[in-house]
């Protein structure tokens, strides 16, 4: 192993950093939104199927590739299959890393703004009084904020700086240390928020919505959305976990770590549903409010809670946005690391220099994405602004295609003995589910991804 490379110091660090990458805006912002649209529990059941049958095998494949090669996403394919076209999966991964961090930091920047606004009590600012309660037009406030040419850019830059500061410190002193700090905080905040939201009057209806499957709402689009959500949520398909697992030690148990990450990620997503829906239902707002759920609907809920119990309302809103911010940060550092690891290893640059390059490039691209909600609204490619274009390219194209190639690479190309040796730590532990796991990697995941990818992509291209 290349001794100048960093490595995670403990098994806890491995799981918390990988779970930190997985748990992000995807769980707390995007998952409830998709559940709201996709018929509650029906969507959750389909999603669980995709997590364990398709996304988890991709995660395991990335772990095998990364730990076997001890290299960045592109270098790993160069080492394990020199001169072969498999390297395309690594190149797509690094490209995906730049794109995903750029659009992600826009929503993370909004989150930072809402965290500051909650802390300053601005979300409880006075609007007209209706039925004896103060109100604010949060829809208008949100729209005027995101379309402002400057304000959101400042928050994008601040968030990118936070990400940069963690990544520049390296694996143990940066990523591992801050994941170990932030993930427990995040889990404590979630537990607090769930307890609070379950005690809201009328919360039962929200719980029923989450737990009762409404099969009528399940369309093919919902099924396709569930796969995209599963991949995005587990951070698979763009080499993020190849990069992280290249820092695993030879004692790290790959199957167990992958299972733990899948369970933590799913738990956080479902618990976010338990935070959001009971509160939303308790104030009688429609649950399918789309992307505005977190930035428009919830502030209304917080305002209502605030007018009845000021301290609880204040704490609830502040902790919620803090939770979202921590989740975004543990994910953004993993996106940044895909690119930083590649640049520092491939060009033999120092980590600080490599991290600075990635931060600058993503900052510029992030500004493009942010401006696509405001002054650059009309700058479109195939009908999509920068934000939508990057989101589409990563989640609909690079992630499924990358996941498809990685499972084929591990399932069919790599020497079976190498794969088994990685999964069993050179024969020192037994993996009871070896055969079914390999079956998922060789057949279920690639065939499933291919079928869905073709189904999803063709109609989209026909439309645009």
Chain contacts with ligand PFF (rule: CB under 6 A): 21-22, 24-27, 100, 232-233, 235, 238, 240, 331, 334-335
Contact 72, 346 (CB under 8 A): yes
The least distance separating ligand PFF from the CB of residue 197, rounded to whole angstroms, comes to 21
**Residue 54 to residues 9, 61, 154, 334, 443, Cα–Cα distance (Å):** 29, 11, 38, 21, 10
Closest to ligand PFF by CB, 305 vs 399, is 399
The least distance separating ligand PFF from the CB of residue 178, rounded to whole angstroms, comes to 15
**Residue 362 to residues 229, 340, 384, 397, Cα–Cα distance (Å):** 23, 11, 19, 20
Return all residues near 138 (Cβ < 8 A) that are at least 6 apart. 295, 296, 297, 299, 300, 303
* CA neighbor of 304 nearest in space, from 124, 115, 120: 124
Closest to ligand PFF by CB, 24 vs 446, is 24
Residue 96 CA to residue 66 CA, distance in Å, equals 17
Residue 453 CA to residue 408 CA, distance in Å, equals 15
Residues paired with residue 213 on neighbouring β-strands, in sequence order: 40
Q: How many CB atoms lie within 10 A of CB 109?
A: 25
Enclosing H/E stretch for 130: strand 129-130
The least distance separating ligand PFF from the CB of residue 175, rounded to whole angstroms, comes to 12
Closest to ligand PFF by CB, 59 vs 80, is 59
The least distance separating ligand PFF from the CB of residue 47, rounded to whole angstroms, comes to 12
Residue 196 CA to residue 317 CA, distance in Å, equals 11
Burial level of 449, CB count in 10 A (0-12/13-18/19+)? buried
The least distance separating ligand PFF from the CB of residue 238, rounded to whole angstroms, comes to 5
Closest to ligand PFF by CB, 396 vs 442, is 396
The least distance separating ligand PFF from the CB of residue 322, rounded to whole angstroms, comes to 16
The least distance separating ligand PFF from the CB of residue 67, rounded to whole angstroms, comes to 17
The least distance separating ligand PFF from the CB of residue 341, rounded to whole angstroms, comes to 12
Residue 308 CA to residue 305 CA, distance in Å, equals 5
Closest to ligand PFF by CB, 22 vs 289, is 22
Closest to ligand PFF by CB, 141 vs 264, is 264
The least distance separating ligand PFF from the CB of residue 121, rounded to whole angstroms, comes to 28
Contact 112, 25 (CB under 8 A): no
**Angle made by CA atoms 36, 42, 44, in degrees to the nearest 5:** 75
Closest to ligand PFF by CB, 26 vs 385, is 26
Residue with tokens 């195939």: 382
The least distance separating ligand PFF from the CB of residue 235, rounded to whole angstroms, comes to 4
Residue 258 CA to residue 236 CA, distance in Å, equals 11
Closest to ligand PFF by CB, 31 vs 145, is 31
Strand pairing report for 133-134 and 129-130: antiparallel
Closest to ligand PFF by CB, 24 vs 374, is 24
Task: Name the token pair of 250.
Answer: 């030879």
* CA neighbor of 395 nearest in space, from 240, 234, 232: 232
- List of E strands, 94-234: 129-130, 133-134
Closest to ligand PFF by CB, 145 vs 232, is 232
Return all residues near 246 (Cβ < 8 A) that are at least 6 apart. 5, 66, 67, 69, 70, 71, 72, 76, 341
The least distance separating ligand PFF from the CB of residue 87, rounded to whole angstroms, comes to 18
Residue 403 CA to residue 61 CA, distance in Å, equals 9
Closest to ligand PFF by CB, 282 vs 332, is 332
The least distance separating ligand PFF from the CB of residue 4, rounded to whole angstroms, comes to 24
Burial level of 340, CB count in 10 A (0-12/13-18/19+)? buried
Closest to ligand PFF by CB, 123 vs 160, is 160
């Amino acid at each position: 192993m290349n001794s100048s490379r960093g490595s995670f110091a403990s098994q806890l660090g491995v799981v918390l950093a990988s779970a930190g990458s997985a748990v992000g805006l995807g769980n707390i912002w995007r998952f409830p939104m998709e559940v709201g649209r996709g018929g509650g529990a029906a969507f959750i059941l389909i999603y669980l199927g995709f997590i364990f049958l398709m996304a988890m095998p991709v995660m395991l494949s990335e772990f095998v590739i990364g730990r076997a090669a001890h290299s960045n996403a592109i270098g790993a394919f160069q080492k394990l299959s020199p001169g072969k076209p498999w390297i395309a999966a690594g190149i797509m991964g690094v490209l995906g890393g730049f794109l995903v961090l750029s659009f992600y930091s826009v929503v993370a920047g909004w989150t930072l703004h809402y965290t500051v606004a909650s802390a300053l009590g601005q979300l409880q600012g006075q609007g007209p009084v209706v039925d004896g309660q103060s109100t604010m037009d949060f829809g208008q406030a949100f729209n005027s904020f995101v379309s402002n040419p400057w304000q959101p850019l400042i928050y994008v830059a601040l968030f990118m700086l936070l990400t940069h500061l963690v990544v520049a410190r390296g694996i143990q002193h940066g990523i591992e240390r801050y994941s170990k700090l932030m993930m427990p905080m995040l889990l404590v905040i979630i537990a607090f928020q769930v307890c609070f939201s379950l005690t809201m009057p009328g919360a039962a209806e929200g719980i029923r919505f989450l737990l009762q499957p409404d099969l009528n709402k399940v369309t093919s689009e919902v099924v396709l959305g569930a796969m995209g959500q599963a991949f995005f949520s587990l951070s698979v398909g763009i080499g993020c976990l190849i990069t992280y697992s290249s820092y695993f030690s030879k004692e790290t148990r790959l199957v167990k770590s992958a299972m733990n990450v899948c369970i933590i990620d799913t738990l956080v997503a479902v618990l976010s549903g338990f935070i959001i829906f009971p509160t939303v239902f308790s104030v009688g707002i429609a649950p399918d409010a789309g992307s505005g759920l977190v930035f428009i609907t919830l502030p209304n809920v917080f305002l209502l809670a605030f007018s009845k119990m000021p301290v609880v309302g204040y704490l609830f809103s502040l902790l919620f946005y803090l939770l979202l911010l921590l989740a975004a940060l543990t994910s953004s550092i993993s996106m940044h690391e895909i690119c930083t690891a590649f640049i520092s290893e491939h060009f033999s640059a120092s980590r600080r220099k490599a991290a600075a390059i990635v931060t600058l490039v993503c900052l510029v691209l992030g500004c493009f994405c942010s401006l696509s909600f405001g002054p650059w609204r009309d700058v479109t490619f195939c009908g999509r602004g920068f934000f939508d274009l990057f989101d589409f390219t990563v989640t609909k194209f690079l992630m499924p295609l990358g996941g498809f190639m990685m499972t084929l690479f591990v399932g069919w190309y790599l020497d079976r003995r190498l794969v088994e040796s990685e999964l069993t730590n050179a024969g020192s532990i037994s993996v009871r589910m070896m055969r079914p796991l390999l079956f998922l990697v060789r057949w279920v995941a690639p065939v499933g991804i291919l079928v869905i990818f073709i189904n999803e992509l063709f109609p989209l291209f026909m439309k645009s």
